[in-house]
Amino acid sequence: MISTPTPIKWVAKSAPKALQIEQLVQELRIPAEVATLLLHRGISTFEEARTYFRPEESTWHDPFLMKDMESGVGRLLRAIKKRENVMVYGDYDVDGTTSVTMMDAYLARHNVPVSHFLPSRFKEGYGLTQEGIDQAIEQEIQLMITVDCGITAVDEVKQLQEAGVDVIVCDHHEPAEHLPPAVAVLDPKRADCPYPFTELSGAGVTYKLIEATRQRLGEPEDVTESLLDLLAVSISADIVSLRDENRWMMHKGLTRLNERPRPGFQALMKTCKATPGFVRSSTIAFSMGPRINAAGRMGNALPALELLMARTDEEAMSRATALEQINKERKLADKTTLQQAMDQVAQRGMQNDPTLVLFGEHWHLGVLGIVASRLVEEYQRPVFLLSQLNGQAKGSARSVPGIHLVRLLEEVSDTLERFGGHASAAGLALDPSQIERFRERVNEAMIALPMEPAEQMHEYDAELQLKQITPKFWSLYRQMEPFGPDNPVPKFMTRSVRLAKAPVRFGVHHAKGLLIQEEDPERAFEAISFSNRSIAEKLQRAWSLQRPMDILWELEESNYGGKRVFQLRLVDVKLTS
């Protein structure tokens, strides 16, 4: 049981062998600290480094290697040739909306009558739903293409096929024991699929179908290259691996996004104050992606889809402005729910409970997952956040390392109507009258389960002096982008830094300050932290007491007045004597 939050331990990654570092330093003519970063990412040879720094098309895999691709292309070609009625059915998140936009754009080139369906997160829920099936049958759809969903929809696809609607499934999630009886089931995670890379996004699978069809029709390459901006946004927002062909596609997509953004993305950049030419994977992950996701979170993903499909600058700006308002509503719901949840912990004296089970009748379901994650950061224990919809308590759960949520919920399943998820995140539903019983039982189960929470730790790549951040280091660091899974943002540790002036707090637990080291007091570095009350308070205390600090940080790029500058994004802070 975790009674109070404990400090997070800082742990240096195992240092590579000196001989390996020296070899890369000599072959690549790079600083030792950059060589260390490469070795931590499994890059140990000149050739691997060359491909890493300059992603190549040679990593691209033939789409026809994917199981059922021939069948999928054949059925799509028939729909194009006969101008059949096609429905593109997608998920309500970034990956789903970019996938739908991609397929819609390709079919529109061929004057195929196409409609689309995005389920409501709250009304229909995830996956192929009965309402979508009914609409397809009512509209006399001849071919449905599911994107970013459908791999487990065995009964639903069977119902469509029996009604005369053919189905092509484009998905990247784990299949169940049985596959849906579709014309083609495209998923690199199929056990019988020989495709050499399994970590495509949903839009990545959709892109492969379009690319294979383009090749079969002998169309020019720019037909699919025009879709790479959508693909890059899906890869970054859906948090898939940034190795293999995803790295090349992301690199090409970011170039497209910066040089020739479609109207929807250009307008979105304006509303989130991103500048074409300065967009990075982090811009998508922290600014563009959350805004696209906001529509689905707040109930209806259609405004996001309409933005991505906008054809003129005027239409796009109108759509982006509307989406920005939805995102503001999402942020307000997020802030309000977080504060009310923390108040509930304090008022009910739950600070020492093994888990936190919190209920707010009017909390917005779309933000419960985000808020639960923040509460886990704050209290370092499993959190179950519940709201009420149609007489039922529904919610999201998040956990800490070492506490498997689904196993915990299995212990108290008699108090629940349904639940599902994985080790660190889950969804659940129960009768509101059972909330107190669930709280008691899950706390008892937490104490009884034979598992201890893993020690919380931050792993960092190297210890650096601030003076080591030279122009050459910065240039090489930028070439390591895009960052994401399997190519994580490097973390650094620096000792004995001081604030050059009083830190500034803003927003919800945001803070920034100007940092110096005694070894080089003339050179100051801007540092910033977002949504971390602990760091904001430590910075304030360090200034008040005039104490030095050890800092854990990531390097990031910002755009000030059209000029690229870098700043330190603080991960953690420790006051020293």
Q: What span, in angstroms and rounded, lies between the C-alpha atoms of 457 and 7? A: 9
Our measurement of the distance from residue 198's CA atom to the centroid of its chain's CA atoms, rounded to an integer in Å, reads 17
> What was the pLDDT predicted at 452?
58
Cα Rg of the chain, angstroms: 25
Within 8 A by CB and 6+ apart from 483, the residues are 242, 281, 282, 489
Q: What is the pLDDT of residues 467-497, one digit of tens each?
A: 999 888 988 998 999 998 999 999 999 999 9
Strand partners, 557: 566
* Residue 2: band (very low, low, confident or very high) from pLDDT cuts 50, 70, 90: very low
Least confident span in 200-209, 256-265, 502-511: 502-511
Q: Which residue in 515, 355, 315 sits closest to 435, CA to CA?
A: 355
| φ, ψ for residue 302, nearest 5 deg | -60, -40
pLDDT at residue 561, as a whole number: 60
Task: Give the full edge-to-edge strand order of the sheet including 356-359.
Answer: 356-359, 383-389, 392-398, 425-430, 418-421
Residue 131: count of CB within 10 angstroms of its CB: 12
β-strand 383-389 against 356-359: which pairing, if any?
Answer: parallel
Does the pLDDT value for residue 560 go beyond 80?
no
Beta-bridge partners for 493: 463, 552
417-469 per-position pLDDT tens digit: 998 888 889 999 999 999 999 999 999 999 987 655 567 789 999 999 999 99
Q: How far, in whole angstroms, is CA 213 from its chain's centroid?
A: 29
Q: Does 3 have pLDDT greater than 60? A: no
- CA proximity to 160, closest of 182, 184, 187, 177: 182
From 28-32, 226-230, 275-279, the region with the lowest mean pLDDT: 275-279
Can you give the three-state secondary structure of 106-166, one letter per residue? HHHHCCCCEEEECCCCCCCCCCCCHHHHHHHHHCCCCEEEEECCCCCCHHHHHHHHHCCCE
Residue that wins the pLDDT comparison between 566 and 387: 387
- Region label for 379, one of left (φ > 0), alpha (ψ between -120 and 50) or beta (otherwise): alpha
Instruction: List Cβ neighbours of 308 (8 Å cut-off, separation of 6 or more).
Output: 97, 98, 101, 230, 262, 264, 265, 292
Per-residue model confidence as pLDDT tens digits over 144-164:
999 999 999 999 999 999 999
Is the pLDDT higher at 419 or at 550? Answer: 550
Distances (CA, A) of 135 to 154, 166, 296, 464: 18, 14, 20, 59
Separation in Å, CA 262 to CA 87, 97, 108, 266, 294: 23, 15, 16, 6, 20
Cβ-based neighbour number of residue 287 at 10 Å: 17
Calculate the CA 251 to chain-centre distance: 17
pLDDT value at residue 140: 97
Q: Is the pLDDT of residue 408 over 60?
A: yes
What is the token pair recorded at 160? 């469509």
Q: Give the separation between CA 304 and CA 322, rounded to whole angstroms.
A: 9
User: Which tokens in the block code for residue 40?
Assistant: 């931590």
Residues 385 and 369: their CA atoms lie apart, in Å, by 8
Strand partners of residue 568: 527, 555
Q: Are 180 and 160 in contact (CB under 8 A)?
A: no
Q: Residues 192-237: pLDDT tens digits? A: 999 999 999 999 999 999 999 999 999 999 999 999 999 999 999 9
Quickly list DSSP for 21-41: HHHHHHHHT--HHHHHHHHHT
- Give me the pLDDT at residue 577, please: 79
Q: Which residue has the higher pLDDT, 454 or 333?
A: 333
Say if residue 1's pLDDT is above 60. Answer: no
The shares of helix, strand and coil residues in the chain, as percent rounded to the nearest 5, are 45, 20, 35
Model pLDDT, residue 137: 97
Helix (H) or strand (E) holding 230: helix 228-237
Buried b (16+ CB within 10 A) or exposed e, 531-540: ebbbbbebbb
pTM for the full model? 0.89
Which amino acid does the sequence have at 462? A
Average pLDDT of the chain is 93
Compute the distance between CA of residue 274 and CA of residue 236 in angstroms, rounded to an integer: 16
Q: Tell me the C-alpha distance between 172 and 534, whole Å.
A: 38
pLDDT band of 6, cuts 50, 70, 90: low
Spatial CB neighbours of 403, under 8 Å, sequence gap ≥ 6:
381, 382, 446, 449, 451, 453
Domains of the chain: 9-54+457-575 (2.40.50.460), 63-225 (3.90.1640.30), 348-448 (3.10.310.30)
Q: Which residues contact 164 (CB under 8 A, 6 or more apart)?
A: 142
Give the pLDDT confidence of 386-407 residue by residue, as tens digits: 999 889 999 999 998 888 898 9
Compute CA distances 61 → 148, 196, 294, whole Å: 20, 8, 33
- Closest C-alpha to 178, from 164, 188, 192: 192
Across 104-125, average pLDDT: 92
* Whole-number pLDDT of residue 422: 82
Copy the structure tokens of residue 163.
């009604």
Q: What one-character DSSP code corresponds to residue 54?
A: S
